[in-house]
């Protein structure tokens, strides 16, 4: 009994220190949002949700539930950080809403692109059946305001989200918290181990951890989760549903392309485009590619759209931009896909796909979206965020690893020929 009391006291003290660090960091957090906002203005908006846990408007008044008259047991809260997590959560959210007319969802995000993705996926349900906002920073007052507004009966966190104060507040309210589609890489496990004094109690407060693989499950157990609370159910990203409307848009683009072979570099990041454009130029000059080959570049982050446009312009390649409602002309070599929420349309347009974030050590992006449209998918050597998926695709002959953009072009030409 005394040991249990000591553990409780130790946890209370560590959370207080953690909260104190969070309070001290508030100016840095504000500075970070301002810095991000310079490149992506959406970061300038909705700060009250991040720092106070609620929107400062009449319909989001403190202590006023977003879904008045609805039983807490029928309110599901899902936290999906950004685009990939939001898309992965879509079947779960639709399944919950499909249980009856009085079921509701509160959907939170960390990034503006996640918020925009959720708005696009659930446009028909907002605001009557689904409410959106940013997840507040893990501060007690922000959590308190948010939970009084959301009133969830069940909290679901996507992938790897552990917030000590928030999980404590949920436990105090008697609201179970579940980690689904959970993954824990070796690198994340080492980081968690350095903060075991915080991560351990947070893991213990989860009702269930639903891991993607047995390896992920074993890592969670090694870091303090009880074996009995960890299950393995596979990766929810395999359950994606392609919206027919956006796919039809891609078909229309394809008809306008006039039979050209379309190479899509999807979700490119951190100036990967430099090597991409150089390799494309060389392949055009040495005859491996012809005027019928069209390169489509779709950057991952909207704050980089103008930067990528400048890179293409500086390369000397002729191009047009989706954001200006320009379709590529027959003599243009590159089309810049600088739009949000249209990745499936770009995939439908393409003949083959290169996954961005994989040619440099960033961990890659989800290759399953290309597979869902039956497009040959290639990825670089750095797919550690999607290691199991990439390995399975190669094993089944559905995807192929390349070492460089030149390698992609060589392999792609062979495939297309």
Q: Which residues are catalytic?
A: 85
Q: What are phi and psi of 377, to 5 degrees?
A: -120, 135
User: CA 54, CA 278: separation in Å to the nearest integer?
Assistant: 47
Taking a C-beta distance cutoff of 8 angstroms, is the pair 216, 183 a contact? yes
CA contacts within 13 A on the Cβ side of 326? 16
d(CA 102, CA 161): 28
3-state secondary structure of 68: coil
Between CA 280 and CA 210 the distance in angstroms is: 43
Work out the end-to-end distance of the chain between its first and last CA atoms, rounded to an integer number of angstroms: 73
Whole-number Å distance between alpha carbons of 360 and 385: 13
Note the helical H segments in 138-288: 140-150, 164-173, 186-194, 196-204, 214-222, 244-256, 272-285
What is each CA distance from 312 to 17, 284, 316, in whole angstroms?
48, 15, 7
Query: Hey, CA dihedral for 373, 253, 343, 89, is it positive or negative?
Result: negative
- The answer to whether 301 touches 273, Cβ cutoff 8 Å, is no
DSSP H helices in 316-404: 343-349, 368-372, 387-395
């Amino acid at each position: 009994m005394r040991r249990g009391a000591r553990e409780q006291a130790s946890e209370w003290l560590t959370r207080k220190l953690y909260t104190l660090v969070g309070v001290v960091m508030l100016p840095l957090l504000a500075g970070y949002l301002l810095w991000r906002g310079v490149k992506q203005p959406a970061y300038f908006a909705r700060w009250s949700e991040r720092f106070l846990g609620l929107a400062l408007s009449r319909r989001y008044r403190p202590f006023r539930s977003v879904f008045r008259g609805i039983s807490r047991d029928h309110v599901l809260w899902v936290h999906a950080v950004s685009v990939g997590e939001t898309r992965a959560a879509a079947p779960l959210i639709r399944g919950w809403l499909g249980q009856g007319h009085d079921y509701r969802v509160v959907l939170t995000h960390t990034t503006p692109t996640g918020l925009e993705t959720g708005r696009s996926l659930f446009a028909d349900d907002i605001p009557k059946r689904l409410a959106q906002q940013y997840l507040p920073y893990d501060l007690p007052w922000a959590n308190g305001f948010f939970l009084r507004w959301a009133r969830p009966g069940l909290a679901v966190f996507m992938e790897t989200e552990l917030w000590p104060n928030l999980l404590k507040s949920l436990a105090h309210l008697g609201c179970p918290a579940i980690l689904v589609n959970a993954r824990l890489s070796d690198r994340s496990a080492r980081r968690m181990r350095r903060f075991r004094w915080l991560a351990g109690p947070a893991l213990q407060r989860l009702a269930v951890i639903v891991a993607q693989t047995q390896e992920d499950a074993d890592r969670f157990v090694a870091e303090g989760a009880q074996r009995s609370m960890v299950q393995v159910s596979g990766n929810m990203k395999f359950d994606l549903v392609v919206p027919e409307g956006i796919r039809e848009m891609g078909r229309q683009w394809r008809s306008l392309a006039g039979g050209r072979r379309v190479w899509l570099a999807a979700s490119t990041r951190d100036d990967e485009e430099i090597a991409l454009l150089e390799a494309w130029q060389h392949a055009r000059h040495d005859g491996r590619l012809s005027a019928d080959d069209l390169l489509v570049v779709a950057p991952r982050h909207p704050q980089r759209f103008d930067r990528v446009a400048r890179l293409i312009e500086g390369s000397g390649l002729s191009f047009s931009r989706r954001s200006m409602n320009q379709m590529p002309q027959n003599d243009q070599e590159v089309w810049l896909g600088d739009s949000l929420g249209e990745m499936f349309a770009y995939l439908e347009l393409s003949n083959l796909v290169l996954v961005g974030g994989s040619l440099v050590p960033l961990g890659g992006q989800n290759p399953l979206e290309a597979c869902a449209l039956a497009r040959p998918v290639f990825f670089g050597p750095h797919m550690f965020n999607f290691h199991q998926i990439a390995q399975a695709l190669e094993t089944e002959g559905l995807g192929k690893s390349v070492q460089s953009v030149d390698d992609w072009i060589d392999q792609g030409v062979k495939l297309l020929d």
